[in-house]
Structure 1
């Protein structure tokens, strides 16, 4: 997979290193000469250019990229890069960094963003995830379909403890993607039995989050199934 990253600061370089370790082809783009530190990520391609200019993106051959990541420290730049990547070059997947949470509402499909990653929101979500049991925690927002990656740790008093996954009537537009049980990561199947303390990860429509939280955390009369 070929990935172009706009912004070769600490964030961009870290992402590049992870992707390279996983066998992907990475191009780092930055307009600041001081940011071009080839020795820090020698396996990557480097381009000294302004990622907001069409001529620069032509030079980067953005049409050949499977993913573009807008990872600069400027939200305006990240939005422009995202829009150009999607509309001018048809990049299948565009991921954008949100620096100021107040701007998060802009990072959507209209600006070419498929996935918006807000560092402040993600950090607060990880704190909540570490200490919350029975509360739904939003970890990541996907622009397409208005869906979110959400997590809930199943409390001992939840009615669904002891229930088979296949017997639960999950809300519409909701998919259980992973069960984290201790040190194990489980791909859920219909015969898996939910246990207290399970960390459940869902991709769910935002409109279904309240319904999902009630299903998992509120003691109800009688179990599903």
Structure 2
């Protein structure tokens, strides 16, 4: 999914981080050049400085090919303009906007291009779920908040685990293979399953580090 987020404040940055972690193509923009510079190197997303209320900049940021636009600036008027441009000018399939002032909530509807209006007090998890419909992303976020990590690793021809069955691979303590994605389809990880190059594993762990999981399989 291609997501364009306007507003790189705390909320916008958190949403960008979560969507990027779920392997979405994310662009985060903000009119404040200093804020964008501050986030450089901290987020693995495309960062751009500019005014998302300007059609030319919004197009430059990727609105023409975006699947989702989320307006999270601190100004309701800006969020409405961004939403209207996204929906009417660029035909973005899904548009969500943050409502900063509850008295303005009645404006945030389809007339202004808003598919999902999100009150400022809405928890981050609910906001992402409402804006994207990505319940799998939300589930991963909830696990992370509970102190459980979901670590992904991909088997290649050079991986030590390629050609071995799952039961033959010693896992770090506290780690469990949740699923094996093969040919784009999630598969129940039976002990006798033999790993192939291209297999993607999702490992749930409350103790093992990403490096320990990588060492076990790679």
TM-score (norm 1): 0.53
Partner residue in 1 for 2:20: 20
Q: Is the 8 A contact 2:3 2:66 kept in 1?
A: yes
Matches within 5 A, 1:135-150: none
What is the CA deviation profile of residues 94-137 of structure 1, one whole-angstrom value per residue up to 9, with x for unaligned ones?
Answer: 000011111100000000000000023x36xx9xxxxxxxxxxx
- Equivalent residue number for residue 9 of structure 2: 9
Kept after mapping to 1: 8 A contact 2:4/2:62: no
Give the aligned partner of residue 212 of structure 2.
none
From 41, 44, 51, the counterpart of 1:39:
41
- Equivalent residue, structure 2, for 1:50: 51
CA deviations 1:4-54 (Å, max 9, x no partner) are: 00001111000001101111110001111121021221x100111100001
Distance 1:65 1:106 in 2: 23
Task: Check the 8 A contact 2:9/2:73 in 1, yes or no.
Answer: yes
Name the structure 2 match of 1:161.
none
2:72 is the alignment partner of 1:71: yes
Q: Which residue of 1 aligns with 2:29?
A: 29
User: Corresponding residue for 1:168?
Assistant: none
Tell me how large the CA RMSD over aligned residues is. Answer: 1.9
Q: Count matched residues.
A: 125
Task: Tell me how far apart the structure 2 counterparts of residues 61 and 17 of structure 1 sit (CA, whole Å).
Answer: 18
Q: Distance in 2 between matches of 1:141 and 1:77?
A: 20
Deviation at 1:61, TM superposition (A): 2.3
Q: State the match for 1:190 in structure 2.
A: none
CA deviation digits over 1:120-168, x for unaligned, max 9? 3x36xx9xxxxxxxxxxxxx989xxxxxxxxxxxxxxxxxxxxxxxxxx
The aligned counterpart of 2:113 is 112
Runs of 5+ consecutive residues of structure 1 not aligned to the other structure:
127-139, 143-225
| Runs of 5+ unmatched residues, structure 2 | 132-218
Distance 1:22 1:45 in 2: 15
Distance 1:29 1:141 in 2: 21
Runs of 4+ that moved beyond 6 A: none
**Distance change (3 Å), C-alpha of 1:24 and 1:52:** same
Q: Match of 1:205?
A: none
